[in-house]
A and B are shown apart, each in its own frame.
Chain A
Amino acid sequence: MKQILLIFICALFSTLTLAQESFTISGYMRDAKSGETLIGANVFDETNPDQGTSTNTYGFYSLTLPQGKHILTFSYLGYQDKKYDIILDKNISLNVEMSEGVLIDEVVISAEKEERRKNVEGTQMGTIALPVENIKLLPAIFGEVDLLKAIQLLPGVLSSGEGNAGFYVRGGGPDQNLVLLDEALVYNAGHMLGFFSVFNSDAIKNTTLIKGGMPANYGGRLSSVLDIQMKDGNDKSYAVEGGIGIVSSRLTVQGPIVKNKSSFIVSGRRTYVLDLIQPALKGSSFEGTNYYFYDLNTKWNYVFSDKNRLFFSGYFGRDVLTFRQPTRDFYFDLPYGNKTATLRWNHLFNEKHFMNISAVYNDYKFEFDGGQDEFSFKLFSGVKDWNLKADFEYYQSNIHTFKYGANLTHHTLTPNTASAVLDDVEFSTQFKPKYAIEGALYFLDDIKLSQSFSINAGMRLSTFSQIGPYTSKLTSKTFGDFEFVKTYFTPEPRLSVNWKLNHNNSVKAGVSRTAQYLHLVSNSSSTLPADLWVPSTEIVKPQKGIQYALGYFRNFYKDMYETSIEVYYKDLYNQIDYADNYVNDISKEVEDAFVFGKGRAYGAELFIKKTTGKLNGWFGYTLSRSERSFEDIENGRWYPAVYDRTHDLSLVLNYKPAPKWDFGMVFIYGTGKLFTPVHGFFIVEQNINLFYGPRNSARLDAYHRLDISATYTPKANKERKFKGSWTFSVYNTYNRKNPFFVNFDIDTNTNTGESQITGSKITIFPIIPSITYNFKWNQK
């Protein structure tokens, strides 16, 4: 530790001395047509390409160079490069507008090339950015473009089930992923039991997945970060975009409020499959039953000056299930969904020092309201957060960047609050919401110690306090408002290093410690909307993890191919599960049914990506193991976690032979999902009861599938305001019968002695062709 500190101090000193004869050029990079800021765009000194940087999440860059003449190149994937001859004799503010285009191949290639160098040169491991435009080219089930399903195609990321948007990263649980939408935490990222994600791709600008070596500015989850940025809205002219699909339709409108200063975007999506079968339900026992979901995204921003910009973004989504059985006077409504709002202020202290302050509100609610005759029943659970965070970035020099910040969140977690009324008698669970305050301070230093050695070191100090009002279950002591019940504190050091062997090769290594204070424990094979988020309390301890990763990164054929091999090992502590004989009972608090244990996960990931040419795409392969051990489950036996899949392979290809046509293909192969098999049965009270073998000791058949798509844009080349395109896609092209789950049925007559147990394999998605019409008006 002392040595690391010493290196820092030396580095700091050396960069400070360097900075004496240097000046800084800084500003924002934007799309020329829409004014949308560009994330991760590059700027570098052409005479010395090692002197470069890229824009942050807000499109801001700051590059410090020695005094003198420089040729600066600004580049971004899919855009034309821009070059500036600059005489640097003072600090310069320069906002750059980039035009989309493929006018000169060479130019675009140089932009992409710079992007690809990050594979070898960046310190960050296990980080993959997926621009939403790339995701839109992939085949999608029912034609519904889904960001979370695209993420699942990356090595180290597994789908939680057939057609499901839930994902597991490097052997971690679904609650261990930090999913952020414009900095607001999304507690349930799935619609319709997780078959669709809540992210409407038309409203999304950029997605970054960090699956290992989480930098210190992120925290609160063990496994990964999925950081999603919404579009800011076009501040130059009005634009409309939309699509009509089998399952849902979408519409996005954006435009300036004050030209070049302020803009808005509003985007909506709604499903209608069951609306269409309403006539068929008329007169049946279930007349009036319906289900749909919708999303609304919006964002507004105002540029006060080059130094100050204000953003407001919001998301509102709901799933609504209404069940009606008029023949029995029985009904229930089941609405659930997320609500988020983020207010952000970007401020520049000077050309090197950037600040973002965010106030975030988010809310996830699950409700059930049903009844029959004189009986009615209500159930409510949810999470509500108020979050204030300040993030600072200081671009000391081109080889040295600091980030530091603080984060404070107030959580309100409402457990299953149930109430029932029968005639005039009322019953209710007496559970009170639980309150907590989560705080973090972090410091992160990205420094290039030499031409071949870079280091990214950080420390996050996180704390979590359960606060009152609360009555202790252990001591019966009563705590008042904001009185501290139990406090946890975790230092979370993070370190990653890059040792560049030569121009095309590098070795990276990282270690990161993470803590997680909110938990979602599911008793089902998939996460369901009714699953509860619970806080760390006097009973439930925070989950902790430590991950070690090592990787070899290499680019081939003039950076045309990016490749990497990463290996990782994780230790997980205070993992939470339910015991084998857990019965879901809304009259009991779930934390009282938890059992606590430990976990470990390890694996190797191979990634080969071709980024240029008419044919591009990637191949990913993961070999991994994830295990858990709980004292209260089979006496601590190490068993494979439900997130364990030995082999996972994906091949993703895009082919664009002509401007009018885009073809996509996805092939997936994965070892079968684990389940707990029936080993036998016994008879009690004349009924057969199944007797289960060890937990997760059997696997379903291997999963594999091929999806293809073709997008036809009839007037692709024409400069016209309105553009339409047709996307044809086929899910599960060769109609593979992938088992979704195995069901055991008992058919018995104990009087005659005849019994039969039948196991059946249930497949839900056969070959599914779909067609979607997308249109754009005045949009790139």
Chain B
Amino acid sequence: MESKISLKLAWLAIIFAVLQSCEEPYLPSIPESTPQIVVEGYVEAGDSDQPVIVVLTKSIPYLSKVSSDVLAASFIQGATVQVNDQEKDVVLTEICLNDLPEEERKQALALLGITGDSIAYNICVYVDILDQIDRKIGGKYDLSVKIGDTLLTATTTIPQLVPLENFLWEMPPGKPNDTLAQLKVTINDPANQNDFYRYLTASQGGNLIPPLTSVTDDVLFDGQRFEFPLSKAEDRNADFDPDTFGYFLRNDSVSIKWCTIDKAHFDFWNTRDNAANSGGPFSSYTRIATNIKGGQGIWGGYAVNFYRLKVPEK
């Protein structure tokens, strides 16, 4: 008996030794690379008041530590950013948040989805201040960005709205739980067309954030009406808890931004999510797709359905 136990312990020791991999810091010698110009711009229609906004940055070379100075320096100022809504050209106005009065600065930060006070660096954006661009379902928008002699262009569209229906709060599967709820929603996917969806959620008083996999196409459910569980988005930087992941807290106030997007916009987030989620020994790298000619990033149209919900008590 004793020898059996010691044999078992020996096994466990061996298994432990084998399964325990070793991790060491690694600083690869990487050749200098020229920075890329990165565009992040959105045009939204439907349940959205957000004027057209474009952020221009330079990609930041690989460094082990990135300070706020480096981030602040990555914003590109003095560019000419112009959007055409097929009827007129509108030149966007450059605004640096530190130049704004405190109240407006807070509003602008909220618009950008940043909780205000702690931001340590100056953010500069290009905004359609007067909301002149005709943001509408079915619209097409051309973007052109001129930085010195460099010209970047992109085009995006805002597809038809496809709303969510029947919000149901259910007990999560598995072990009974009084504090968590699973959200189920219904969608009626239009038949015979390629639809692409993206969503973000806000909970516990936080900002809207995308879930780890934030987009889907309708290849598997084209033209169907069906109910599916909609996961709560989790902060990428937070620790992963396999028992609560994706569930909403009872009694919480929740926002859901449910959007239809076009193919190029989908490709950007699809590759981005994949790049952010992959890693590990067997996965290859994923280069993030872009619809920006001459640069990186995204010029994306959103058809927005916005929902404010209260999670019921059990």
Contact = CB atoms under 8 A, between A and B. Distances in A.
A104 interface: no
Nearest to B177: A327
B224 interface: yes
A760 interface: yes
A588 B219 CA distance: 8
Interface string B117-140: 011110000000000000000000
B286 A581 contact: yes
B292 to A, nearest CB: 11
A752 interface: yes
A505 interface: no
B32 to A, nearest CB: 9
Nearest to A755: B66
Interface string B218-252: 01110010111100000011000011000000000
Nearest to A587: B219
B120 A752 contact: yes
Interface stretch (A298-306, A555-563, A743-751): A743-751
A677 interface: yes
Contacts of B281: 161, 525-526, 740-741, 762, 764
Interface residues of B, number: 83
Contacts of A429: 219-220
B74 interface: yes
Contact of B173 (A372, A423, A428, A749): A372
B57 A682 contact: yes
A758 B63 CA distance: 9
B43 interface: no
Contact of A752 (B25, B31, B118, B221): B118
A193 B35 CA distance: 38
Interface size class of A (residues with CB under 8 A): 35 or more
Interface string B36-66: 1010100000000000000001011111111
Contacts of A693: 30-31, 33
Nearest to A193: B282
Given A423-B227, A750-B71, A689 B276 contact: yes
A714 interface: no
A425 B237 contact: no
Nearest to B10: A246
A749 B40 CA distance: 19
B67 interface: yes
A111 to B, nearest CB: 42
A774 to B, nearest CB: 18
A528 B280 CA distance: 13
B8 A276 contact: yes
Contacts, number: 233
A756 interface: yes
Contact of A682 (B14, B282, B289, B296): B296
B59 A682 contact: yes
Contact of A328 (B172, B267, B279, B280): B172
Contacts of B172: 328
A685 B259 CA distance: 15
A759 B12 CA distance: 31
A427 interface: yes
A752 B115 CA distance: 11
Given A525-B281, A680-B33, A741-B280, A581 B289 contact: yes
25 contacts: A276-B15, A328-B242, A329-B173, A372-B173, A373-B173, A422-B227, A423-B227, A428-B220, A523-B284, A524-B282, A583-B286, A678-B62, A679-B61, A679-B62, A680-B59, A686-B113, A689-B276, A691-B59, A691-B296, A692-B287, A740-B281, A745-B279, A748-B237, A757-B62, A757-B64
Interface of B: 8, 11-12, 14-15, 17-18, 21-31, 33, 35-36, 38, 40, 57, 59-68, 71-72, 74, 113-115, 118-121, 172-175, 210, 217, 219-221, 224, 226-229, 236-237, 242-243, 267, 270-272, 274-276, 279-289, 296-298
Interface of A: 142, 161, 193, 246, 273, 276-277, 280, 285, 325-330, 372-373, 375, 418, 420, 422-423, 425, 427-429, 523-526, 528, 580-584, 587-588, 675-687, 689-693, 697-698, 737, 739-745, 747-766, 768
Given A526-B281, A680-B33, A680-B61, 20 more contacts: A273-B15, A276-B15, A328-B173, A427-B220, A427-B226, A525-B283, A526-B282, A581-B287, A583-B286, A676-B285, A681-B62, A684-B272, A685-B210, A691-B36, A698-B29, A751-B118, A751-B120, A756-B66, A761-B23, A763-B23
